[in-house]
Amino acid sequence: MKKRDIKIFIDFDGTITLEDIGEAIFRKFGSEEKTNIIVNDLLSDKISSRQCWDDLCDSIDSVNKQELNDFIDSLDIDPTFIEFVKFCKDNEIKFFVLSDGFDYYIEKVFSKSRLTGIKYYSNKLFIDNSGSFSAEYPYYDADYPTSANCKRNHIINNSSDEDYTIYIGDGNSDKDAAQYCDFIFAKNDLLKYCSREKIGFYPFDNFSDVQNKIAELIKKKNLKKRHQAELKRKSAYLAE
Ligand SMILES: [Mg+2]
């Protein structure tokens, strides 16, 4: 496949970062028990992702901003992601980060690792002077409630029929979106979901695994797109 026809879509929490920062913030600064209940409701499809974030924001009384920033600073990304970004740039492969988390910590994490100019889409988190949280969801789509930031729409808007699309993710907010892509790299809950639903995927632990596999795919002459993903994209493009 031609490198310029590749579009990569990457989840943030638990995929680029070693742990889910969004969840970790609410566990640390809110209540562990409330967080568990709310997250379990999300994972059992009782509530939408948007509702989950709203409930979690409500579960926090007040946060000291400095403590919050220090906590975010203490969390790390997968170190192999840095090399992966370079690999994409060297090969002129376009990638987009699609996060169902928040701009507030994504910005901090990227700048700590000196990653500049990465295109990402996420929800927005605001912390007022009294230290309470509120969220906004600029890319919400009620038809796709598993992610408050509709990842599926970003894939449709940033790819075309000719592209080979690649999805890299680990969790609940990826399970609908990943199905629109030709190649899926999955770990944790997304891996379990793909196995259960018999959706083809490559397992991965870190971005070195992903990079090696993509380098292999690029060399192939006749690379097949995933038929189910093509059908899904086709009907989405027609509906636009
Ligand atoms: Mg994730």
CA of 100 to the centre of ligand 1 (A): 8
Q: Confirm whether 138 is domain-assigned.
A: no
Residues whose beta carbons lie less than 5 angstroms from ion ligand 1 = 11, 13-14, 170-171
SS3 call for 210: helix
Number of domains in the chain: 1
Q: What is the pLDDT of residues 145-170, one digit of tens each?
A: 999 999 999 999 999 989 999 999 99
Q: What is the pLDDT of residues 54-79, one digit of tens each?
A: 999 999 999 999 999 999 999 999 99
CA of 130 to the centre of ligand 1 (A): 29
Q: Confirm whether 44 is domain-assigned.
A: no
Close Cβ partners of 56 (under 8 Å, ≥ 6 residues apart): 26, 30, 34, 35, 38
Give me the pLDDT at residue 100, please: 98
Q: Confirm whether 137 is domain-assigned.
A: no
Q: What is the pLDDT of residues 161-196, one digit of tens each?
A: 899 999 999 999 999 999 999 999 999 999 999 999
CA of 131 to the centre of ligand 1 (A): 26
Mean pLDDT of 43-49: 94
CA of 18 to the centre of ligand 1 (A): 10
Q: Confirm whether 151 is domain-assigned.
A: yes
Find the domain containing 95 and state its range: 3-18+78-122+146-239
Q: Confirm whether 72 is domain-assigned.
A: no
Q: What is the pLDDT of residues 215-233, one digit of tens each?
A: 999 998 888 899 999 999 9
Whether residue 33 is predicted with pLDDT greater than 90 in this model: the reply is yes
Give me the pLDDT at residue 237, please: 83
Whether residue 1 is predicted with pLDDT greater than 70 in this model: the reply is no
CATH code (residue 220): 3.40.50.1000
Q: Which residues on neighbouring strands pair with residue 77, listed in sequence order?
A: 17
Give the C-alpha distances (Å, rounded to integers) separating 227 from 96, 180, 194, 230, 239: 23, 10, 15, 5, 19
Q: Confirm whether 179 is domain-assigned.
A: yes
Pick the residue with more confidence: 37 or 220? 37
Q: Confirm whether 57 is domain-assigned.
A: no
CA of 205 to the centre of ligand 1 (A): 13
Q: Confirm whether 41 is domain-assigned.
A: no
